[in-house]
Amino acid sequence: MKITKQIGLFLAATMIAFACGKPGDTVETTDAQEVAAGEGQTLNLDLASTTISWTGYKPAGKHFGKIPSTGGTLTVAGDQITGGSFTFDIPGLTIEDMEAGSEFHGKLYGHLQSADFFDAANFPTATFEITGVAPFSSSDVIADKQEFSSEFTPSSDSSLSPSNPTHWISGNLTMRGTTKNIKFPAAVSIANGTVAAKAGFNIDRTQWGLMYGDEAAATDKAKDQFIYNTVSLVLDVTAK
């Protein structure tokens, strides 16, 4: 009986470990880290072919759009990314699920720019600085966060990720005066002096002080009195 219990505990622990992903294999947010030195050739971000899409969710709906990049570079040595940084224009944020110029579009845009969210008057830019790049292994796991179920449950990290990731990219994301390190899988290709990178992942907006409608404070989620803390980001970046 004792051996049976031990085997059962071992199997349970193994299943939990698999479900949660190996340490370091999952999308995660941690404290800021040292920025990579970035040795090699410096390539400029191609703004015309670079997009950063966002989606925010609440149980009764979702909003989505883009945040333009105003510039950035990637540093490459051979076929490896060694560093890079990007700058994003918060006042330039677009909302694509509403007609531009409409009353509700204006209200939502103003609310997102206000101190309830990005506080763009005081923090008009966001930045991302690469701190590390590592190979993505076939055994790596993209673990998904359990979310409150609704008609508009946020997309999972595994569904947002490229189908064939090649690397884990880590970097310091600074928004609203707060810097956190995020790590996510990306599909990266380097050829003929051009770097193309695609990635999709979730962040917890409250980690950067965007606390309005914090779902952790909702007393009755069934009444749609909160906004999901999860925000989805999809990156399509080209540097030449």
d(CA 158, CA 18) in angstroms, rounded, equals 14
State the sign of the Cα–Cα–Cα–Cα dihedral 180, 183, 189, 190: positive
Quick one: tokens of 172?
Answer: 């310091």
Quick one: tokens of 167?
Answer: 């690397």
Task: Determine how many CB atoms are found less than 10 A away from the CB of residue 68.
Answer: 16
User: pLDDT tens for residues 186-195?
Assistant: 999 999 889 9
Q: How far apart are the first and last CA of the chain?
A: 65
101, 96, 35, 42: which is closest to 68 by C-alpha? 96
| Residues 92 and 51 sit within 8 Å (Cβ to Cβ) | no
d(CA 188, CA 5) in angstroms, rounded, equals 46
| Residues 52 and 67 sit within 8 Å (Cβ to Cβ) | yes
Share of the chain above pLDDT 90, in %: 82
The number of residues in the chain equals 240
User: pLDDT tens for residues 103-155?
Assistant: 999 999 999 999 999 999 999 999 999 999 999 998 998 999 999 999 999 99
Q: Which domains does the chain have, with CATH numbers?
A: 26-239 (2.40.128.110)
Rounded to an integer, the average pLDDT of 205-218 is 95
Beta bridge partners of 203: 231
Q: What is the DSSP letter of 152?
A: T
Distances (CA, A) of 147 to 15, 58, 137: 20, 11, 27
Q: What is the DSSP letter of 49?
A: G
| Residues 87 and 125 sit within 8 Å (Cβ to Cβ) | yes
User: pLDDT tens for residues 156-211?
Assistant: 999 999 999 999 999 999 999 999 999 999 999 999 889 999 999 999 999 999 99
